[in-house]
Chain A
Amino acid sequence: MATTAVTTDLEVFSEAPPAPPARPRVLLIGTALAAGSASMVIFALIGLYAKMRHDVLADGEVWMPEEGNVQLTPGSMAMVTLLLSLLTVAWIVQALRNDDRGHALMAFGVTLLLGAAYINGAAYGWQQLGLGVTSSPQALLIYTITGLHVAMVGIGLLFLAVMGFRAVGGQLTGRAAEGVSAAALYWFVTVGVYATVWYTITITK
């Protein structure tokens, strides 16, 4: 009986229409374009910051106001935190590819935690900066750039959470898996943008 059943199944499969072509990676490409576009907002402000800083230094003046204190430690810790999150995001994608929901959930949890830690670090950096938001053009630019990046991270966390929960919740279809890849791509871009922010504001000040 068992042999007959197997044969019947094979017959059914042999009569089935061919598999549809691979689904185009619409969400992945759309996310790449949106992420690139969002990055340009921050890059534009970094360009403005760098240009104004260059002009001030060229005049022989000091860029950062006296009371300003851009600390190296919180900014660098934030950078390390985000670099670690790259690993955990890659872990999510890999775990979902292997249909390993346990590891995927763990990786999601760690990523969300690292994202929250980054936001906490950024808030601490603002607290330590010693400048009011509108106290000087320098402060305005720093708060706008870092604030926009925190917003970018927040959107990335939301994106990862929505796509991740959909995937872990059982919708491990091609489209859902693509959603997680798209969220991961957005996250990678976010970390890349922070590397520029970190170098411009934390390192060169």
Chain B
Amino acid sequence: MTVTEAPRDAALEAAAAPSPSAPPTGLAAVVGSGDPRTIGKLFVGTSLLFLIASAVVGSLVGIEQYDTAGTEIFGADTTLRMFTLQATGLLFLGVLPLLVGLATAIVPLQVGAATVAFPRASAAAYWVWLVSSGLVLASYAIDGGPFGTEPEAVSLYIAGLIAVLVALAVATVSVVTTVATLRAPGMSLRRTPLFSWSMLVGGSVWLLTLPVLAGVLLVTYLDLRYGEQFLGGSGGVWNRVAWTLWQPTLYVVAVPALGIIADIVPVFARRRHQRHRSAMFLIGLAAALGFGAWAQLGATIDGSDAPAVWINEAPWQAVGFLAVVPVLGLLGLWTGTLGRGKVKLGTPLILAGMGGLLVFLGVAAGAATVIGELDLSGTTWMTGQTTLVLLGTLVVALGGVAFWAPKLYGKLLPDVLSRLGGTLVFLGALVAGIALAVAGALSQSRLVTGGATAVDSGDLDTVETLNLVSGIGLGVAALGLVVAALAMAKRRSGDGPGDDPWDGHTLEWATSSPPAVGHFATLPAITSEAPVYDARHAAAASKTEASA
């Protein structure tokens, strides 16, 4: 276990030591790399591909539901499976690994560490995640996944998803440990950059949540393959997974997005983050409220329809309302920071703003969900809410990639392509999320096949049109993701962006772009949460004094 440690001294020594053989290049350098930047880029790039596929599938499902009576593209059973594929892909193959990848690359830089706490574990996590994601997709190809008719293939889906969860948990342990133990001298927890803080608190809650799903899936696997299928067999698998896409668990996925926005806003406001400690508290509160493993569908001993555990009960309702508080509080702080600063309208800020708006709409929709009189629980209102929160998080993450591109790729991303990609994802998510939510308000059930049975006949045409609109929205989002991927692949030509193209505030901007092995030759004195901002202002002040 100790061989996976690589504190700063060890990494610097390793970099300085003569290499007995030539360092690997090409594919060997990628496959064998324990460099957090390489692992992070692999996570980001691969998850983006899965996200494109997921959005395309979601688009086709929406278009399929244009005619709720007939089936044109997939067929009834396959539509249901494709719905689960889209949701699984969006969360476990897309948004979560994207955030983990970004954190793996950026968090060590932010806290002044030479690398992540367990670089080899992070690398192993990526490859396990990649192979397991392939297994999950392969299971769908052979008639598996939830609602699949081939038991072996359904089992493959469960086994693959368990491995995905283990991989994500291992990568998260590495990131959280980095923040907890490898912060530079002088960087107390209160001075931790907000993205790193959000990974510390959000990642900790992920580590309490992902294993719950893994455990439940394990017993579902055993029950499906060898038992009496008291957990509902193939059709019951989705009931074991779906709670991760609902509030409150849904919110903890968005916690790192809050941290990304909180790091971008002050840089583009050209002033310190207003009330940094309050922001830390609010992000921590959002993470605490996002622990939702207690709110999932129950199971019965005879395999009959399982009642929900605590869903629609008082704690669930309380969390639905309370979750608005940290998001609103943070919005207030960001508005104050921007209002008092000299705003520079860069691509990262625009994307962070659009993503933040989607997350806020999603959280607000969640507050409406818990109002029993509205009767929205169990309808596509919740699917719309999921779309808003997850795609909002995705847009913020794209903003984060644009922001930290100099550290990730050594180049800035092309502004036009980045903005276009993010804007398309934003618009697509907004349209799809609202269309699904309105269809839910018209009583369309959350599961696609037969979902329209509760809809009034007079509203059926409207619901079908809304389904089509949601499909088109997700199609636009898929297009936006393609454009965003192109932006990352193309990057900006010409000389490098310099070490600090945005006039950043936190430690990652005190090193080269891209960072060298070991990240930092020397570190500035850390006396606040914005050491680079401090150093810049101190230098400017002394320059003014000297000239006076």
Q: How far does the alpha carbon of A26 sit from the alpha carbon of B50 in the complex, in Å? A: 32
Segment among A7-15, A44-52, A71-79, A98-106 that sits at the interface with chain B: A44-52
Docked complex: A131-176 residues within 8 A CB-CB of B: 133-134, 136-138, 140-141, 144, 148, 159, 162-163, 166, 175-176
Segment among A17-25, A80-88, A195-203 that sits at the interface with chain B: A17-25
Task: Name the residue of chain B whose CB is nearest to the CB of A141.
Answer: B219
Q: How far does the alpha carbon of A30 sit from the alpha carbon of B170 in the complex, in Å? A: 10
Contact with A along B44-81 (1 / 0, CB 8 A): 00000000000000000000000000000000000000
**Residue A109 interfacial (CB < 8 Å):** no
Question: Knowing A20-B9, A40-B212 touch, does A30 contact B219 (C-beta < 8 A)?
Answer: no
**Residue B511 interfacial (CB < 8 Å):** no
Q: How far does the alpha carbon of A51 sit from the alpha carbon of B309 in the complex, in Å? A: 9
Instruction: Check if A26 sits within 8 Å of B7, measured CB to CB.
Output: yes
Q: What is the total number of residues of chain B having a CB less than 8 Å from a CB of chain A?
A: 42
Docked complex: A165-199 residues within 8 A CB-CB of B: 166, 175-176, 178-179, 182
**Residue A113 interfacial (CB < 8 Å):** no
Instruction: Check if B214 sits within 8 Å of A41, measured CB to CB.
Output: yes
Task: Name the residue of chain A whose CB is nearest to the CB of B169.
Answer: A37
Q: Among the listed A21, A30, A44, which residue makes an inter-chain contact with B174, where contact means beta carbons less than 8 Å apart?
A: A30
Instruction: Check if A163 sits within 8 Å of B1, measured CB to CB.
Output: yes
Query: Which chain B residues border A178 with CB–CB below 8 Å?
Result: 2
**Residue B230 interfacial (CB < 8 Å):** yes
Q: What is the total number of residues of chain A having a CB less than 8 Å from a CB of chain B?
A: 45
A interface: dominant SS: helix
Question: Knowing A24-B7, A52-B300, A140-B227 touch, does A40 contact B211 (C-beta < 8 A)?
Answer: yes
Contact with A along B195-227 (1 / 0, CB 8 A): 000000000100111111111101100110011
**Residue B438 interfacial (CB < 8 Å):** no
Q: How far does the alpha carbon of A140 sit from the alpha carbon of B223 in the complex, in Å? A: 7
Task: Name the residue of chain A whose CB is nearest to the CB of B240.
Answer: A48
Docked complex: B1-50 residues within 8 A CB-CB of A: 1-2, 5, 7, 9
B interface: dominant SS: helix
Instruction: Check if A26 sits within 8 Å of B5, measured CB to CB.
Output: yes
Instruction: Check if A42 sits within 8 Å of B215, measured CB to CB.
Output: yes
Contact with B along A27-70 (1 / 0, CB 8 A): 10111011011111111110010011001100000000000000
Query: Which chain A residues border B222 with CB–CB below 8 Å?
Result: 133-134, 140, 144
Query: Which chain A residues border B7 with CB–CB below 8 Å?
Result: 23-24, 26
Task: Name the residue of chain B whose CB is nearest to the CB of A186.
Answer: B1
Question: Knowing A36-B207, A141-B219 touch, does A24 contact B228 (C-beta < 8 A)?
Answer: no
Query: Which chain B residues border A26 with CB–CB below 8 Å?
Result: 5, 7, 117-118, 177, 181-182
Instruction: Check if A136 sits within 8 Å of B228, measured CB to CB.
Output: yes
Q: Among the listed B5, B213, B300, which residue makes an inter-chain contact with A55, where contact means beta carbons less than 8 Å apart?
A: B300
Instruction: Check if A33 sits within 8 Å of B230, measured CB to CB.
Output: no
Closest chain-A Cβ to B311's Cβ sits at a distance in Å of 13
**Residue B298 interfacial (CB < 8 Å):** yes
**Residue B301 interfacial (CB < 8 Å):** yes
Instruction: Check if A37 sits within 8 Å of B301, measured CB to CB.
Output: no
Instruction: Check if A179 sits within 8 Å of B9, measured CB to CB.
Output: no
Task: Name the residue of chain B whose CB is nearest to the CB of A24.
Answer: B181
**Residue B173 interfacial (CB < 8 Å):** yes
Query: Which chain A residues border B309 with CB–CB below 8 Å?
Result: 51
Query: Which chain B residues border A43 with CB–CB below 8 Å?
Result: 212, 215
Q: Among the listed A21, A36, A162, which residue makes an inter-chain contact with B1, where contact means beta carbons less than 8 Å apart?
A: A162
Can you list 10 pairs linking A and B with CB atoms under 8 Å apart? A24-B182, A29-B180, A29-B181, A31-B1, A36-B208, A37-B173, A39-B211, A44-B213, A144-B222, A178-B2
